[in-house]
């Protein structure tokens, strides 16, 4: 990593470490870093989605000539590559720094883990809403707990495996 990259990595780690002491008794540092970076990436995703949907796309259908995309799906499609990239970089350089795997292997595995998260989101939402008759918002909250747990475990023990 180049010098500016190292400086950014150091600043992010110092910031996370500053907030860590009250949680030290409850969760290990790696899990806290995962929660901090994942939380940041989630907030970035929501913020960018809001900006794209409301201002860049102005809530208008995106007509590509051969297909028309609703503004809420188009906003997701524009934002996803950004937060996919930031999520991978934060996981690689902040959270799971001890992995000996090469970057291209980690990236391929990250693609698989994200695809699994998307599939798990879909399946669990369908299950909770349609088969369990749970309200969609409550279903989303329950689903998020499962997906975050899956995501942490798959990234820790597969994507950025340390041993």
Stretches in the chain below the pLDDT threshold 70: none
pLDDT of residue 119: 96
Tell me the pLDDT tens digit for each residue of 96-105.
999 999 999 9
Eight-class DSSP state of 92: I
Q: Could you give the angle at the alpha carbon of 147 between the alpha carbons of 5 and 44, nearest 5°? A: 40
Q: Bridge partners of 63? A: 68
What was the pLDDT predicted at 42?
93
Per-residue pLDDT at 158: 96
pLDDT score at 1: 75
The pLDDT, as a whole number, for residue 162 is 82
Q: Across-strand partners of 62?
A: 69
Residue linked to tokens 């524009």: 78
DSSP state of 127: I
């Amino acid at each position: 990593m180049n010098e500016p990259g190292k400086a950014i990595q150091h600043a992010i780690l110092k910031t996370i470490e500053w907030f860590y002491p009250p949680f030290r008794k409850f969760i290990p540092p790696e899990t806290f870093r995962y929660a901090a970076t994942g939380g940041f990436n989630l907030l970035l995703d929501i913020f960018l989605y809001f900006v794209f949907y409301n201002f860049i796309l102005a809530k208008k259908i995106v007509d590509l000539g051969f297909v028309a995309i609703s503004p809420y799906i188009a906003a997701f499609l524009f934002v996803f590559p950004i937060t996919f990239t930031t999520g991978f970089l934060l996981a690689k350089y902040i959270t799971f720094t001890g992995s000996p795997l090469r970057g291209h292997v980690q990236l391929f595995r990250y693609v698989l883990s994200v695809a699994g998260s998307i599939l798990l989101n879909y399946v669990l939402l369908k299950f909770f809403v349609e088969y369990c008759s749970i309200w969609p918002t409550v279903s989303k909250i329950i689903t998020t707990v499962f997906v975050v747990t899956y995501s942490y475990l798959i990234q820790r023990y597969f994507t950025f495996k340390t041993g």
